[in-house]
């Protein structure tokens, strides 16, 4: 009886410790991804305001960012890749100032690296 109790206690301890370890890593990852997404949102906002994009292009870029954020949150990799590709296409259109373009591309790269590190 005592051996059975110890076995159950050990199993419960292992289950609790592994359960507690995973959320901590997930929270850190989620926090970094959230920070990177917020930075991208700010840089996109500034870059779009200073760009020569049409109103329709600006709206499309905002939709692409929204899709990127939701796809990362819901772990839809292909949707995130499509949205990021669309944002890069707008960045390469010549409508952005070079410093804004560079900063936004760095933000996208940071998000990509954080995503790869989490896999």
The model's pLDDT over 5-57, given as tens digits with 9 standing for 90+, comes to 434 444 444 444 433 444 444 444 567 878 998 999 999 999 999 999 999 99
Per-residue pLDDT tens digits for 54-95: 999 999 999 999 998 898 888 888 998 899 899 999 999 999
Predicted pLDDT of residue 18: 39
Q: What is the DSSP letter of 52?
A: -
Task: Give, as one character, the DSSP assignment of residue 51.
Answer: S
Of residues 115 and 64, more confidently modeled: 64
Please tell me the pTM assigned to this model. 0.69
Q: b vs e for 47-74, b when ≥16 Cβ sit within 10 Å of the residue's Cβ?
A: bbeebebeeeebebbeebbebbbebbee
């Amino acid at each position: 009886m005592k051996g059975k109790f110890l076995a159950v206690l050990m199993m419960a301890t292992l289950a609790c410790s592994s359960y507690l370890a995973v959320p901590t890593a997930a929270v850190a990852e989620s926090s970094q991804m959230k920070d990177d997404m917020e930075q991208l949102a700010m840089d996109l906002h500034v870059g779009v305001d200073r760009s020569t994009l049409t109103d329709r292009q600006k709206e499309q870029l905002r939709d692409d960012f929204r899709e990127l954020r939701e796809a990362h949150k819901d772990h839809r990799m292909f949707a995130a890749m499509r949205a990021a590709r669309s944002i890069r296409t707008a960045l390469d259109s010549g409508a952005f100032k070079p410093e804004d373009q560079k900063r936004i591309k760095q933000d996208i790269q940071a998000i990509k690296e954080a995503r790869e590190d989490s896999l």
